[in-house]
Amino acid sequence: MQTFAEAGVSTRVLSALGRQDINTPNRVQLESIPALLDGRDVVVQSPTGSGKTLAFLIPIVERFRPGVPGPRALIVAPTRELAIQVDGVFTSMDSGLRSALLYGGIGYHTQTQSLKRGADVVIGTPGRILDMVQKKLVSLSRVQYLVLDEADQMFDAGFATDVERILGLTYATQTVLASATMPDWVSRMIAKHLQDPLRVTIVTEGPSLLEHGLIHTDTGVKLRTLSDILRKHGTAIVFGRTKHGVRKLNRDLQRLGHKSVELQGNMAQSARDNRAKRQHRPGADLHHRRGPREVEQAAAPGRARTAPGGRVSFRIRRRLALPRGCADQRSPARDLAPAPTPSAGPETVSRLGP
């Protein structure tokens, strides 16, 4: 089986794919689409960019027709960026089905209007989906086809409880779960909510493009250590634990001569978007969702350095799967001169996840 037609895709959908010059399915699509068209639950373990979005969207277009009360399909994604991307792929298929895109950080008017017009498919982030349900702006009782995209990222982002609540609100007869990794929570959710799923696993070949490292440092010298790293490696994304910490870090880095911008959850979405655009240099493709693993999945070569303090050190080491002694560094407590005068464009993004 080498073509979409052999995988069971109809002529109508083949034409829509052909208009986008999508003619040959990849391995994820070949292995998952036939089972999905048969109504079977499917678990896809593959990295970002493996083609799974098209794999779980094609069965929606094949299965549903416009004009029936809905929504009948629900796609849950961990970030607004991924939700927007999925909606863009769905819209490009020109199926006649209507979608509603639900994510936080913006007002309700546009999203409410898309629901009132009648949505066959809802695509969104867990928090905003539940918010709309609680406001009685959308009901999930008619959902027949449920997709949990990047399930491990939803767990990493603290959405596990929200996802469980969403699962409890639907009566989906078919569930698709996509995840790059399989942490315990994802495995338990599969066992609890999916029925005899087909498992499609794609292993990434080739060396990792991301080098992890753990730096042992004291609180008093963390800023100096970070400044030293930034002077050596240039452009960077720095993740902080709290909004206040990100604001303070940004001020401190600027005081040391680094050209940095701040992104954190208390800022309006428009302000965050504008600052992200300022960071986006011509010729560069900046990917940042929640942490260094996503940078690796986006195929951006680079280094990830973590400088935890106190009791979090062991947890960080375990999350990064670092063997003891691997790329460990101890930061010297030396005075650092101000950073050199930066070139045009921000050098550093101080960021807290949305």
Phi and psi at 100, nearest 5°, equal -120, 130
Question: Residue 156: helix, strand or coil by DSSP?
Answer: helix
Strands ordered across the beta sheet of 198-201: 99-102, 121-124, 73-76, 145-148, 174-179, 42-45, 198-201
Burial 14-26 (b: 16+ CB within 10 A, else e): eebbeeeebeebe
Which residues, in sequence order, are bridge partners of residue 262? 350
* Nearest alpha-carbon partner for 336 in 211, 220, 250, 239: 220
What is the chain's alpha carbon radius of gyration, rounded to the nearest angstrom? Answer: 22
Q: Which amino acid is at 298?
A: A
* Angle at 62 (CA atoms; ends 60, 65), nearest 5 degrees: 80
- Cα–Cα separations (whole angstroms), residue 43 to 20, 128, 198, 351: 27, 24, 6, 32
Give the C-alpha separation, 121 to 101, whole Å: 9
Q: Maximum distance among all alpha carbons in the chain?
A: 68
Q: Which two tokens stand for residue 81?
A: 């960026």
Range scoring the smallest mean pLDDT among 1-15, 18-32, 206-220: 206-220
Domains 11-201 and 210-351 share a fold: yes
Give the C-alpha separation, 86 to 194, whole Å: 22
Predicted pLDDT at 300: 46
- Write out pLDDT tens, residues 142-186: 999 999 999 999 988 889 999 999 999 998 899 999 999 899 999
Predicted pLDDT at 294: 38
Q: Is the pLDDT of residue 218 over 90?
A: no
DSSP state of 338: P
Peptide bond into 78 cis (omega under 30): no
Q: Which two tokens stand for residue 145?
A: 């086809």
Predicted pLDDT at 261: 86
Give the C-alpha separation, 222 to 330, whole Å: 11
Predicted pLDDT at 157: 85
User: Are the C-beta atoms of 86 and 123 separated by less than 8 Å?
Assistant: yes
Question: Residue 213: helix, strand or coil by DSSP?
Answer: strand
Give the C-alpha separation, 172 to 192, whole Å: 14
- Kindly report the CATH number that applies to the domain delimited by 11-201: 3.40.50.300
Length of the chain equals 354
Using CB atoms within 10 A of its CB, is residue 141 exposed (0-12), middle (13-18) or buried (19+)? exposed
The β-bridge relationship of strands 121-124 and 99-102 is parallel
Q: Which amino acid is at 217?
A: T
Band the pLDDT of 264: cuts 50, 70, 90. Answer: confident
- Write out pLDDT tens, residues 62-105: 999 988 888 999 999 999 999 999 999 999 988 899 999 999 98
- Kindly report the CATH number that applies to the domain delimited by 210-351: 3.40.50.300
Q: Is the pLDDT of residue 343 over 50?
A: no
pTM of the shown model: 0.68
Using CB atoms within 10 A of its CB, is residue 72 exposed (0-12), middle (13-18) or buried (19+)? buried
Range scoring the smallest mean pLDDT among 30-44, 115-129, 323-337: 323-337
Predicted pLDDT at 221: 87
Predicted pLDDT at 220: 84
For the chain, what are the domain ranges?
A: 11-201, 210-351
- Write out pLDDT tens, residues 282-328: 433 333 333 434 333 343 455 666 565 554 555 555 555 554 444 44
- Write out pLDDT tens, residues 112-141: 999 999 999 999 999 999 999 999 999 999
Residues 6+ apart with CB under 8 A from 137: 108, 112, 115
Give the C-alpha separation, 72 to 100, whole Å: 12
Q: Report the Cα 226 to chain-centroid distance in Å.
A: 26
- Write out pLDDT tens, residues 220-248: 888 998 898 888 877 888 888 888 888 89
Give the C-alpha separation, 134 to 241, whole Å: 29
Using CB atoms within 10 A of its CB, is residue 195 exposed (0-12), middle (13-18) or buried (19+)? exposed
Band the pLDDT of 214: cuts 50, 70, 90. Answer: confident
